[in-house]
Amino acid sequence: MKKVYLFFFLTLFINTNIFSDDGYRLWLKYDKIKDKKILDSYTSQIKGWIVEGNSPTILVAKEELQKGLNGLLGKKIKELSQIKNNIIIAGVYSQSHYLKNINLSESLVEISNEGFVIKSIKIDSKNVIIITGKSDTGILYGIFHFLRLLQTNSNIKNINIVSSPKIKLRLLNHWDNLNRTVERGYAGFSIWDWHKLPDYISPQYKDYARANASIGINGTVLTNVNANAWVLTHQYLIKVAALANVFRPYGIKVYLTARFSAPIEIGNLKTADPLNEEVKQWWKNKVDEIYKLIPDFGGFLVKANSEGQPGPQNYGRTHVDGANMLAEALEPYGGVVMWRAFVYDSNIKEDRAKQSYNEFKPLDGKFRKNVLIQVKNGPIDFQPREPFHPLFGAMPDTPLMMEFQITQEYLGQGTHLVYLAPLFKECLDSDTYSKGPGSTVAKIIDGSLENHSISGIAGVSNIGTDRNWTGHLFGQANWYAFGRLAWDHNLSSDEIAEEWIRMTISNDNEIVSKIKSIMLKSREDCVNYMTPLGLHHIMGWNHHYGPAPWIKDKHRDDWTSVYYHRADTNGIGFDRTATGSNAVSQYFPEVAEIFSSVEKCPEEYLLWFHHLPWDYKMKSGKTLWEEICYHYYNGVEGVKETIKIWDSLKNKIDNEQYNHVKMLLNIQLKEAIWWRDACVLYFQTFSKRPIPDELEKPEKSLDYYMNLNFPYAPGI
């Protein structure tokens, strides 16, 4: 009888995914390489390793290399104490015992302090692969990159890689509250267990640091931009310090959001006026206190005078006064202020898309050296598609930081498979023409166009307590893509997707190409079933879940949908040309000319910039109304196609991964149909034209959709 059980257990073990993949290990799985030829080739080239140095960073780098090699090669790869043939040597060049006679000056001049060189060379006629650089963190990044090459089954013969991050500050922004809720978070609660800190250090903190370091992220803002002053009390700062201690070896600095009214709320002052001496002193003391606990503290992120947050304007002061006051306190320690440009005032009757530029452009050049202005990718708010923000290129004397949203607040939240690298790239590659052709957004934020010594990029995190970190497996790809692009914005969406799939799901070429095809089209599908042709901000009220183009009559116009789509019996779209709000004038002439011309404006931005009649003839020959319908229907067809491709992967990839995504895709399809039908029915009340004959008709009525309610939708 026992034998029967054993046999049963063994068959289960061999034939099914009894140890199925719950996603916790992210892209750092290090499972044994399946392809025997590749495995053999690696095993013959990697017979041992030496990692020089013993700083905390070198120790974790060593630990990672060991873990990675043993896992991927499926056997213990030994640490050596002298050079042998076919081994890896890693260490900081200037301190290395083994590399001192090797001339690497050409490669080393190319890299920054965080960069690395991976190279096949001969030392004493022995073949070795060296991983070197100028700092311990560079070595850590080099080791992670080398492991990535193995994980993706890349060729490591005659390897020669020289790599440096293009942007200096590469940060995640957590919109995490002290009560562990996450604003716009769809993957459970905050991973920061504030109540148990500083004494209880969850092992997840270290895994968080590993994952980020593996893609070069070097900073994390722990708290929500809608800030709580409490995190600046001593009681919380010691908790922050405990996290900083875990992250430090991984090259990650902590940053906090600074609530502008903190001097009143936790400092017992009567004012938070940035020009008041007591207020200035309060912040200086606070900063001193922080650096005593966290010597490498990164600095503050500030949302001021935006959506009800306090700020310098409450005291008749400017953003410059506010930012500079904090910057002065941080300056002696090398800390920075990241001051957000996401401001718009409900009392100003100006197009919301224009307000941030109007407020910030005149302040160019007035900020202290350690201030960066953090600008969202588009002028409204992380929509499925927006043109780039007109501030890029417009403030040449101020370092502008990019703010992307990794969490999918407006792109299907926790349940839609939407790969965001194409969205990020579209913005980074946009040409602002600020200094003639080729003045891309990427060159502005990496500091190269305007010669800034600091540069930065932030991604609003999608991480939570869900076992797989991001709720949706493919949310991991967006975290991954953000980090990879922050390191090198020249990487393509395609390359990044391929790396991630190979590390996370499979190295089988056919599977890789199928999943890649799904990922690469997913953002366009989403735009189509949500907000095609430049439509924007027509989602559910407050929770932003689902479609609600009918939202109107709220306490502020710019929080309604009708404000943005402006549909009426004549047509649809927001006229932002000279006959309307003239937001186009905020772009440089070459760009403004394109956006303002109905003929030249790319159709994907058409209704962002133009109000057009329902019968307007599109490039396809269809009327605008028909074209809108077809885009909505094509979006849904795209999701159906995705499901078909995914179905073909059954039994070819890990079962748990397969089923998890399969169920989410079914939700996505339901919701895509919901978006399509609700929007088409609603816009039809203005267009008064039929849905083209060949398209199936919505099953439910507009009333049905308008009466749906979601009091407990996540993320608020």
Residues that bind ligand BDP (CB under 6 A): 183-184, 225-226, 303, 307, 342, 381-382, 409
Q: What are 106's two structure tokens?
A: 């050409």
3-state secondary structure of 64: helix
- Nearer to ligand BDP among residue 140 and residue 302 (C-beta): 302
**Could you tell me the smallest distance in angstroms from the CB atom of residue 456 to ligand BDP?**
16
Q: What is the sign of the dihedral through the CA atoms of 71, 73, 74 and 76?
A: negative
Q: What are 309's two structure tokens?
A: 């947050």
Length of the chain in terms of residues written: 716
Distance from C-alpha of 518 to C-alpha of 523, rounded to nearest angstrom: 10
For strand 456-460 and strand 160-163, is the pairing parallel, antiparallel, or unpaired? unpaired
According to DSSP, residue 436 is labeled B
Distance from C-alpha of 461 to C-alpha of 469, rounded to nearest angstrom: 10
Distance from C-alpha of 117 to C-alpha of 132, rounded to nearest angstrom: 5
**What DSSP string describes 203-241?**
HHHHHHHHHHHHTT--EEE-S-SS--GGGGSHHHHHHHH
**Could you tell me the smallest distance in angstroms from the CB atom of residue 307 to ligand BDP?**
6
Tokens 């700020």, located at residue: 311
**Could you tell me the smallest distance in angstroms from the CB atom of residue 304 to ligand BDP?**
11
Helix axes 421-428, 493-504, angle to 10 degrees: 150
Q: What are 158's two structure tokens?
A: 């005659």
**Nearest by Cα to 416 from 716, 648, 661:** 661
- Nearer to ligand BDP among residue 403 and residue 677 (C-beta): 403
What burial letters (b/e) apply to 215-252, b meaning 16+ CB within 10 Å?
bbbbbbbbbbbebbbebbbeebbebbbbbbbbbbbbbb
Tokens 């490591």, located at residue: 156
- Contacts by 613-616 with C-beta closer than 8 Å and gap 24+? 613/570, 613/571, 614/570, 614/571, 614/572, 614/686, 614/687, 614/689, 616/571
- Is residue 499 among the annotated active site residues? no
**Could you tell me the smallest distance in angstroms from the CB atom of residue 371 to ligand BDP?**
18
Distance from C-alpha of 182 to C-alpha of 64, rounded to nearest angstrom: 30
**Could you tell me the smallest distance in angstroms from the CB atom of residue 183 to ligand BDP?**
5
- Is residue 409 among the annotated active site residues? yes
CB atoms near residue 277 (< 10 Å): 8
CB atoms near residue 119 (< 10 Å): 18
- Nearer to ligand BDP among residue 344 and residue 595 (C-beta): 344
Q: What are 89's two structure tokens?
A: 């040597």
Element (H, E) at 457: strand 456-460
Which one is catalytic: 136, 381, 426, 671? Answer: 381
**Could you tell me the smallest distance in angstroms from the CB atom of residue 293 to ligand BDP?**
27
Which one is catalytic: 52, 64, 409, 499? Answer: 409
The closest residue (CB) to ligand BDP is 381
CB atoms near residue 509 (< 10 Å): 10
Distance from C-alpha of 350 to C-alpha of 619, rounded to nearest angstrom: 32
**Could you tell me the smallest distance in angstroms from the CB atom of residue 405 to ligand BDP?**
7
**Could you tell me the smallest distance in angstroms from the CB atom of residue 367 to ligand BDP?**
20
- Nearer to ligand BDP among residue 171 and residue 225 (C-beta): 225
Q: What are 368's two structure tokens?
A: 């202290």
- Nearer to ligand BDP among residue 379 and residue 698 (C-beta): 379
**Could you tell me the smallest distance in angstroms from the CB atom of residue 408 to ligand BDP?**
11
Which one is catalytic: 307, 495, 593, 604? Answer: 307
Distance from C-alpha of 607 to C-alpha of 144, rounded to nearest angstrom: 44
Q: Where does 259-358 show beta strands of DSSP type E?
A: 299-302, 336-340
- Nearer to ligand BDP among residue 409 and residue 446 (C-beta): 409
Helices marked H in 447-576: 473-487, 493-504, 509-530, 562-565
For strand 78-79 and strand 571-572, is the pairing parallel, antiparallel, or unpaired? unpaired
- Nearer to ligand BDP among residue 309 and residue 657 (C-beta): 309
Tokens 């040309």, located at residue: 577
- Is residue 307 among the annotated active site residues? yes
**Could you tell me the smallest distance in angstroms from the CB atom of residue 460 to ligand BDP?**
7
Distance from C-alpha of 609 to C-alpha of 591, rounded to nearest angstrom: 12
- Nearer to ligand BDP among residue 291 and residue 541 (C-beta): 541
**Could you tell me the smallest distance in angstroms from the CB atom of residue 226 to ligand BDP?**
5
Beta-carbon contacts of 704 under 8 Å, excluding residues fewer than 6 positions away, are none
- Nearer to ligand BDP among residue 150 and residue 539 (C-beta): 539
Q: What is the sign of the dihedral through the CA atoms of 555, 560, 564 and 569?
A: negative
Q: What is the sign of the dihedral through the CA atoms of 222, 228, 232 and 237?
A: negative
**Could you tell me the smallest distance in angstroms from the CB atom of residue 342 to ligand BDP?**
5
Q: Which residues are catalytic?
A: 307, 381, 409
